[in-house]
Amino acid sequence: MKKKYSHFAVLILKLIINFSLNDPHGAIINGGAEVQTAPSTAFPERNMLSRSTTAIFILVLAALAAIVACDRDDVESSDDEQSEDAQELIFAFQPQENPEGLQLDADRLAEFIGEETGFDIEIYLPTNYSAVVEALRAENADVAYFSGLPYMMAHEMAGAELLVVEERDGNPHYYSQWYVLDDSDIEDLADLKDRSVAFTSPSSTSGYLFPVAELIDQELVEHGGKPEDFLGDVVFAGGYQQALLSLANGRVEAAAASDYALQQYLSEEERDQIRVISEQGPVPTHGLAIRGALPEDVKDAVRSALLKLNEEEHTELLRSVYGAERLVEQDHDTHVQALEHAYTIVDFDERI
């Protein structure tokens, strides 16, 4: 950046030049006019030299001080401009069973992304899945970490673009399952007629969308129909753990959740009480998506930082957020291929 010196510094430099043009009799040239100085009677040449040299030295110091002050102001101004120009990104994380723990883990992840990209990262924890989609649509969030169904909605409504997706057991997908108690007389989905059921939430991919799509595919529920038309009482428990505990505790006769939820959220004793009657999928894993309107270099920087979480020293941080084993790049069409079928046959809009 080109340095700009103050008028004070320039004035001092002009005075220095004027002093350097002293005539032998002590006259200072000032714009072509002579200003007489009183000559010394004792050792006039030495006194004139001493007086001129001292004055020039003092003026040089003053000029240097003024220039240094200007340089410092330029540096501070440059730092302020760089701070103001820093890219700001808001990361939204969809709710899970332990929001307090998610806040701590998300804060750690934000710090890591900020260090890797140089961007200012903020965390937003909405109260429900649909709020993540709305935040992207309204540009109140820039990057979101969410499951398949909310991602599909964000892609359609907010132009969200997939950055990376999770791998589980080496795959970018998992499965949805229907569960019943081990001693239940329910053997298949047809036996669920008029039975009480716990789903996780109306916007859950594996805890609602895929299980209901399977009922439709087996012609137990009409295309676009409501599961209540076939099932008995339906409750939305709020999460995988809550839905499975509702089943284990006898509050409902069946529950739907992901295939990894049983192992992750229930004790061995509780797991022994439950069996699987149906599996559907593959269900696309959670992923991180970014607002499509953001510059490509911003997208690339965030993607690179996220992929760096796969390095051994960062895997604990990666697992802490949603239990992800690895993040990989995946294009939209490939990732949501199986999801699109369920997305088109299940009527979920008014529930979200």
Neighbours of 187 (CB within 10 A): 9
Mean residue pLDDT of the chain comes to 79
Q: How far is CA 305 from CA 86, 110, 253, 300, in A?
A: 17, 11, 45, 9
For position 102, what pLDDT does the model report? 54
**CATH architecture for segment(s) 87-170+286-330:** 3-Layer(aba) Sandwich (3.40)
Residue 154 near residue 146, CB atoms below 8 Å: yes
Each residue's pLDDT tens digit, 9-48: 444 445 444 544 444 444 433 444 444 444 444 434 444 4
Partner residues linked to 30 by β-bridges:
33
Q: How far is CA 183 from CA 87, 187, 194, in A?
A: 57, 10, 18
Partner residues linked to 161 by β-bridges:
290
For position 95, what pLDDT does the model report? 62
User: Comparing 87-170+286-330 with 173-284, is the CATH topology the same?
Assistant: yes
∠232-234-235 over CA atoms, to 5°? 155
User: What mean pLDDT is predicted for residues 123-127?
Assistant: 83
Each residue's pLDDT tens digit, 158-174: 999 999 999 988 999 99
Where do the domains of the chain lie?
A: 7-84, 87-170+286-330, 173-284
Structure tokens at 57: 């030295």
Please tell me the least confidently modeled range out of 75-79, 132-136, 260-264, 346-350: 75-79
Q: Cβ contacts of residue 282 below 8 Å, gap of 6+?
A: 171, 173, 174, 175, 338
Q: What DSSP string describes 41-72? A: SSSHHHHHHHHHHHHHHHHHHHHHHHHHHHHH
pLDDT-derived band at 76 (thresholds 50, 70, 90) equals very low
Highest mean pLDDT among 69-73, 95-99, 103-107: 103-107
Residue 110 near residue 123, CB atoms below 8 Å: yes
Each residue's pLDDT tens digit, 181-230: 999 999 999 999 999 999 998 888 999 999 999 999 999 999 888 999 99
Three-state DSSP class for residue 235: strand
For position 79, what pLDDT does the model report? 45
Q: How many CA atoms, within 13 angstroms, populate the side-chain half-sphere of residue 315? A: 7
CA 88/CA 122 separation, integer angstroms: 8
Q: What amino acid is encoded at 304 in this protein? A: S
For position 349, what pLDDT does the model report? 58
Each residue's pLDDT tens digit, 329-345: 999 999 998 899 999 99
Whether the predicted pLDDT of 276 surpasses 60: yes
Rounded to a whole number, what is the distance in angstroms from the first to the last CA of the chain?
Answer: 53
CATH fold of 173-284 reads D-Maltodextrin-Binding Protein; domain 2 (3.40.190)
Whether the predicted pLDDT of 77 surpasses 50: no
pLDDT-derived band at 324 (thresholds 50, 70, 90) equals confident
Residue bearing the bigger pLDDT, 329 or 124 = 329
Percent with pLDDT over 90 in the chain: 54
User: What mean pLDDT is predicted for residues 143-154?
Assistant: 90
